[in-house]
Amino acid sequence: MAAFIFFAYAAVALAAGLVVIAAGSTRVATRGLFVCMVAASCAYVQMLAPAVAAVQLVVLAGAAVAALRLAVTDEVVVRRRLVSGLALLPIAGLALILVGTWARQYVWAGRELGPGSQFGGAAALARVWSEAHAPALLAALLALLVAAIAGSAGRGHRL
């Protein structure tokens, strides 16, 4: 059952990702990104990381997509042949890694996810935050947030 659920939202996420890069309209691509982020957050939920899923839903699938829909207008898509050719090299490398990883599972299926119900919850993450480098990370996030607010404000209201 868990595998069926995984394959369901993984297929939705990858199909929506394909829409993001293949759609002719930017608005359709932005909607595809929203669906992709929502489907990808299901993976966080399934690996018992609901807090990260909530962050992804709020930040990426909410704020970022809303900002992109406001700012990005439909533009003519132009393909660059040279860049397309160069792009084949890393894509081929990644395809090799993917095929190698796929083939490796017949030798070693990988570490299985152990059972647990509290791992990744809000309390566990709060404990890790308090024990780890929370002050530095929070300072960095605060600085980035201030920069984002300052950058996204209108010309007459910038800091």
Partner 1 sequence: MLPITHFLYLASGLFVLGLVGLTLRRAPGRVLLALVLLLAAPGLLWATFARAWGDGGGQVLAALLVTLTGVYALLGAALLRGRG
Positions 18 through 37 that interact with partner 1 (CB under 8 A)? 18, 20-21, 26, 29-30, 33, 36-37
Q: Is 136 in the site for partner 1 (CB under 8 A)?
A: no
Q: Is 139 in the site for partner 1 (CB under 8 A)?
A: no
For partner 1, the binding residues in 105-134 under the rule CB under 8 A are 105, 109-115, 119-120, 124-125, 127-129, 132
- 20 closest CA partner among 5, 7, 37, 43: 37
Could you tell me the CA-to-CA distances from 58 to 15, 41, 90, 142 in Å, in that order?
A: 21, 10, 32, 17
CB of 134 to partner 1, least distance (A): 8
The angle that helices 122-131 and 134-152 make with each other, rounded to 10 degrees, is 100
For partner 1, the binding residues in 43-72 under the rule CB under 8 A are 43-44, 46-49, 51-52, 55-56, 59-60, 63-64, 67-68, 70-72
Rounded distance, CA 97 to CA 45, Å?
Answer: 26
Q: Is 98 in the site for partner 1 (CB under 8 A)?
A: yes
CB of 154 to partner 1, least distance (A): 9
Q: Of the candidates 8, 35, 78, 157, which one interacts with partner 1 according to CB under 8 A?
A: 78
Rounded distance, CA 24 to CA 90, Å?
Answer: 24
Could you tell me the CA-to-CA distances from 122 to 50, 55, 134 in Å, in that order?
A: 8, 11, 15
Q: Is 86 in the site for partner 1 (CB under 8 A)?
A: yes
CB of 91 to partner 1, least distance (A): 6
Is the separation of the CB atoms in 36 and 10 below 8 Å? Answer: no
